[in-house]
Structure 1
Amino acid sequence: MPDAASFPSEPVLVAEGLRKTYGDLAAVDGVSLEVRPGEIVGLVGPNGAGKTTVISMILGVLQPTAGSIHIGGVDLAKARSRALALANFAAVYAPLPGNLSVEQNLRVFGLMYGVKQLSARIDDLIAEFDLTRHRKVKAGVLSSGEQTRVALAKAMLNRPRLLLLDEPTASIDPSTARDIRARILEFAHERQAGVLWTSHNMYEVAEVCDRVLFLSRGRVLLAGEPERLVAEHAAPNLEELFIRVAHEHPATGEGLG
């Protein structure tokens, strides 16, 4: 395991004043956040709160209407390729090409990221994510859990300093989800990578996240350590706090008061 002291201490992600508008609609309205090395930050909120829009802006898929994004100290707006080379991404709604085998997918994306000693890296990831017997199998015929493992292997190909995960364990069984969480925790801590994690599973968020940000209507309403937020708001658990916040500050429409 690398010595944590050898890793830089500055945040791997700094987003300041992010805003994304579509006409008169503000999908994201002044969101600021940071993720430090070895830290897992949960970005949670009801559907339509702006979570995926934030992720898309950090990935450079959407251009912010206002605000700035720095990955590993690199300004995304000024040095897009250099900034994104430090990051990677996985989401259930972004499956890998189904007509390519597991190995072919990893090789194609490894070449895109310029991964050195790619064949050895692919071998390591296939073993780490228990994909050996699926190596030559087309990704499109794998189960949802197997596809999730392939997507995470792809996301770790370039040993990213910033890992963006949008609902990484949705639609998979509890046993597989537990294994996935363990692998991500290990990656974050051993590599001192920062992780930004969106999920609707508050038990999962409470288990893996060092900090959590509650997003609603494009704004951060609450932020802090899960246990501290639960205690401060006298909620029995994070899920109940999430429900309370979602009801009081719905993503669309007026508060239920």
Structure 2
Amino acid sequence: MHLLEARALTKRFGPVTAVDGLDLTVGPGEVVGLLGPNGAGKSTTLHMLLGLITPDHGSVELFGMDLQRHRIEVLSRINFAASYVDLPGVLYVQEILEAYADLYAVPQSRVRDMIDLLELGRLRKRRYMELSSGQRTRVQLGKALINEPDLLILDEPTANLDPDAGDRVRSLLVRLARDNGRAMLITSHNMPEVERMCDRIHFMAEGRIIASGSAAELTTSFGADDLEEVFLKVARR
């Protein structure tokens, strides 16, 4: 069974069709990349999968249940992080994680787990608004992992991290998927990251998925040397 299955998702904003008949699946232990140039429809797609936007047409099933009919049940089993979404700036890092532990009704011991896992010990008594962009990214990931989600949706998961921290986070995320059977859907403009992490990759353009496959399959299909070249060819279509 797919943990995530979207069928014929369509969303229009006035005369603009942001997402046009999109089909997408993610299975247990699978890391799937959703890539494309700005304006391709990625963010709108993620917002529909999270129930933040209602599609004009199509459906989203999570864990075999319709998102609209079983919203509370399915959303308790997923989580989301994005570099562009801010957390309450006046709260301390530990307070933020404690609040989300309460929200997801998980033991407060998960707060210590996240602080240790993402090396937030020296930041736990600092206000979120005082953190650097890379530090905020780590707190966002701590919030996203606090409930041990079965499905994790990540928009630019290592944005703003220095190379060493980014490498550690990528290793962590891949390990969580491979060892614990968690599903992940990620967007990223870091092509080496996508190539390393993703089992399957979908390229979007003008609201549609125009190419899918592993990194090796896509480079072969597009006659490219690497995934970066594939991205540039898709963006120029």
Distance 1:47 1:233 in 2: 20
Q: Residue 144 of structure 1 aligns with which residue? A: 133
Q: Which amino acid aligns with 1:123?
A: R
1:134 aligns with 2:123: yes
Deviations 1:193-246 (A, max 9, x none): 100000111111111111000000000000111111112222100110110111
Q: Residue 228 of structure 1 aligns with which residue? A: 217
Q: Which amino acid aligns with 1:180?
A: V
Runs of 4+ in 1 over 4 A off after TM superposition: none
Deviations 1:115-155 (A, max 9, x none): 1x2x2111111111111111111111112221111111110
Deviations 1:168-191 (A, max 9, x none): 222332222111111111111222
TM-score normalized with structure 1 length? 0.90
Instruction: Report if aligned partners of 2:137, 2:159 keep a CA contact under 8 Å in 1.
Output: no
Distance 2:68 2:39 in 1: 25
Q: Residue 178 of structure 1 aligns with which residue? A: 167
Which blocks of at least 5 consecutive residues in structure 1 are unaligned?
Answer: 1-9, 249-257
RMSD: 1.0
Distance 1:106 1:33 in 2: 31
Instruction: Report if aligned partners of 2:33, 2:187 keep a CA contact under 8 Å in 1.
Output: yes
Instruction: Report if aligned partners of 1:71, 1:86 keep a CA contact under 8 Å in 2.
Output: no
Alignment of structure 1 residues 14-53 onto 2, 5 Å: 14-53=5-44
TM-score normalized with structure 2 length? 0.97
Alignment of structure 1 residues 178-257 onto 2, 5 Å: 178-248=167-237
Provide the aligned length of Structure 1 versus Structure 2: 237
SS in structure 1 of the partner of residue 236 of structure 2: helix
Which blocks of at least 5 consecutive residues in structure 2 are unaligned?
Answer: none
Question: Between the two proteins, what is the percent identity of the paired residues?
Answer: 43
1:156 aligns with 2:145: yes
Distance 2:102 2:62 in 1: 21
